[in-house]
């Protein structure tokens, strides 16, 4: 796949830069020609001489090259056009922000702006930097330019802290690029339907029955599915969240009945459906037309069951890969497996309320992914965006198997 490919590797100033020596070796071993641009701060972490020796090409750092008394111009336009693939690894928060905003104050950035080939970036930074809204904004902007992110992983960081922000391992970066070049993004020809958030069941014109779901898990799933190239329909109950992405069609609903209708109008044409919404199980039998007055000392509302959207999708399932969520407090595995079977699912994502940081109303989640063949994969506590990466990777592994 990489044989004969011209790869331009941009290395920026983070401790993960030392791993690029392995990355260059793997790329060369795969038959690629590698040219390297090193930012000034990156050269404190990895030696230009090592990289030049491994890549068998001079390592470039500035616009001008002083060589044996003559001064040459490192032409960023030529470099950008030379490359079949440009990879920025590790990509620091600083460089990502500059790339997202068109700043052009070094050779790497000028070349990035000139390149016409597919561009990949592998972020590496400390966990708080990785989850900062401004960093996330850079990711989103770069993805809207069709640059491809190779997400950081979770683990021990140079700061001594533990969390997300570790650059993907060189082997994983190389396989990611190989897969992209051979097949495009893993979900590029797929349509994904996702439900998110709570539903509000009206009691009268001003009151409702609802729950504390924020919708975050569903929105992160939508973002990740779009990042993997899917066309996404996100049917969301009331949520303060928003998503702006060319590939995501956000359909806002209020009640379970509205969610049911919206989901069914998109289900037939979907390849994957993920129900992450916390749908109200019951709704008031009658909605008062006028605001109810507090005339009596007690007050009863007669509730009737809402339609189970996920169950109905299971009943009508044809080609779709159908995934549900289960929030359990006891006999978690058995209950989740029972739900998977009863609702005719291909997989279920189990959250246990016994795990702190899991479930809804939090920015983190701890999940166990169970498929219909009872293959069980348990994950550690992660941010919901990292959980979305895990869930979509479990799904794509199965649909592309
Ligand atoms: N779900 C749905 N429509 C409903 C209720 C639930 O689509 N009316 C979906 C949720 O989005 C989730 C899954 O079904 O994917 C949750 O299943 P459910 O049986 O409701 O789980 P719990 O709410 O945990 O149910 P129970 O209270 O019976 O444990």
- pLDDT of 66 reads 64
Angle at 145 between CA 180 and CA 27, to 5 degrees: 35
Is any atom of ligand 1 closer than 6 Å to the C-beta of 217? no
Instruction: Pick out the chain residues at pLDDT < 70.
Output: 65-72, 74
Q: Is 213 in the pocket of ligand 1 (CB under 6 A)?
A: no
264 close to ligand 1 (CB < 6 Angstrom): no
Number of structural domains (the chain) is 2
Helix (H, G, I), strand (E, B) or coil at 342: helix
The verdict on 141 and 222 lying in the same domain is no
Q: Residue 197 and residue 239: Cα distance in Å, rounded? A: 6
Q: Which of 147, 165, 182 is the last residue of a domain?
A: 182
Kindly give the distance from the C-alpha atom of residue 309 to the centroid of ligand 1, in angstroms, as a whole number.
Answer: 8
Same structural domain for residues 208 and 329?
Answer: yes
- The pLDDT of residue 74 is 67
Q: What is the pLDDT of residue 161?
A: 84
- Of the residues 182, 214, 245, the one at which a domain ends: 182
At 356 the pLDDT is 80
What is the CA(326)–ligand 1 centre distance, in A?
7
pLDDT, position 388 = 96
What percentage of the chain exceeds 90 in pLDDT?
81
| Cα 133 to Cα 153: distance, rounded to the nearest angstrom | 18
Are residue 236 and residue 333 in the same domain, yes or no?
A: yes
Question: What backbone phi and psi angles, to 5 degrees, belong to 273?
Answer: -130, 130
Whether residue 95 sits in one domain with residue 41: yes
CATH number at residue 12: 3.40.50.1950
pLDDT at 245: 84
Between the CA of 189 and the centroid of ligand 1 the distance, in Å, is: 29
Domain that holds residue 345: 191-282+298-399
Does 292 fall in a domain?
no
**177 lies in the same domain as 206:** no
Q: Please check whether residues 66 and 211 belong to one and the same domain.
A: no
Catalytic residue (one of 57, 74, 211, 344): 211
User: Residue 311 sits in a domain of what CATH number?
Assistant: 3.40.50.10300
Same-domain status, 145 and 212: no
* Per-residue confidence (pLDDT) for residue 67, from 0 to 100: 66
Last residue of a domain, one of 143, 159, 182: 182
Considering the domain architecture, whether residues 119 and 213 belong to the same structural domain is answered as no
Give me the pLDDT at residue 400, please: 78
Domain check: are 176 and 247 in the same one? Answer: no
Say if residue 34 is in the same domain as residue 129: yes
Residue 211 is among the residues annotated as catalytic for this protein: yes
Residue 309 Cβ contacting ligand 1 at under 6 Å: yes
**Do the domain assignments include residue 293?**
no
Burial (CB count <10 Å: 0-12, 13-18, 19+), residue 132:
middle
Please work out whether the CB of residue 314 comes within 6 Å of at least one atom of ligand 1.
no
- Residue 107 sits in the same domain as residue 235: no
pTM, whole model, 2 decimals? Answer: 0.77
Our mutation pick for probing the ligand 1 site, out of 339, 351, 352, 359, counting the most ligand atoms within 8 A of Cβ, is: 339
Contact 284, 209 (CB under 8 A): yes
């Amino acid at each position: 796949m990489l044989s004969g490919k011209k790869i331009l590797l941009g290395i920026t100033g983070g401790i993960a830069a030392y791993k690029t020596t392995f990355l260059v070796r793997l790329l060369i071993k795969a038959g690629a020609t590698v040219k390297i641009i090193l930012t000034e701060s990156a050269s404190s972490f990895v030696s230009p001489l090592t990289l030049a020796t491994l890549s068998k090409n001079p390592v470039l750092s500035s616009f001008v090259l002083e060589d044996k008394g003559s001064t040459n111009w490192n032409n960023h336009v030529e470099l950008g056009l030379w490359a079949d693939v440009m990879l920025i690894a590790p990509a620091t928060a600083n460089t990502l922000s500059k790339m997202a905003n068109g700043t052009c104050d070094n050779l790497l950035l000028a070349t990035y702006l000139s390149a016409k080939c597919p561009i990949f970036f592998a972020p590496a930074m400390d966990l708080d930097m990785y989850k900062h809204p401004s960093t996330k904004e850079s990711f989103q902007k770069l993805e809207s330019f069709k640059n491809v992110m190779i997400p950081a992983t979770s683990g021990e960081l140079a700061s001594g802290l533990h969390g997300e922000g570790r650059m993907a391992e060189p082997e994983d970066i190389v396989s990611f690029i190989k897969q992209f070049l051979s097949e495009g993004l893993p979900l590029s020809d797929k349509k994904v339907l996702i439900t998110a958030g709570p539903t509000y069941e009206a009691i009268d014109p001003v009151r409702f029955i609802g729950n504390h779901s924020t919708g975050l898990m569903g929105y992160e799933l939508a973002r990740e599915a779009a990042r993997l190239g899917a066309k996404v329909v996100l049917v969301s109950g009331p949520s303060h969240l928003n998503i702006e992405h060319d590939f995501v069609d956000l359909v806002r609903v209020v009640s379970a009945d509205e969610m049911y209708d919206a989901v069914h109008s998109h289900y037939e044409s979907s390849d994957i459906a993920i129900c992450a919404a916390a749908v109200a199980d019951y709704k008031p039998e009658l909605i008062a037309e006028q605001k109810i007055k507090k005339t009596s000392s007690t007050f009863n509302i007669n509730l009737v069951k809402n339609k189970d959207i996920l169950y109905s999708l299971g009943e009508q399932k044809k080609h779709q890969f159908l995934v549900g969520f289960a929030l359990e407090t006891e006999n978690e595995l058995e209950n989740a497996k029972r739900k998977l079977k009863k609702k005719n699912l291909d997989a279920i994502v189990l959250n246990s309320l016994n795990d702190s940081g899991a479930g809804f109303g939090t920015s983190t989640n701890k999940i166990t992914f169970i498929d219909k063949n009872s293959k069980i994969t348990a994950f550690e506590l992660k941010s919901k965006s990292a959980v979305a990466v895990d869930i979509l990777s479990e799904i794509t592994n199965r649909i592309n198997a």
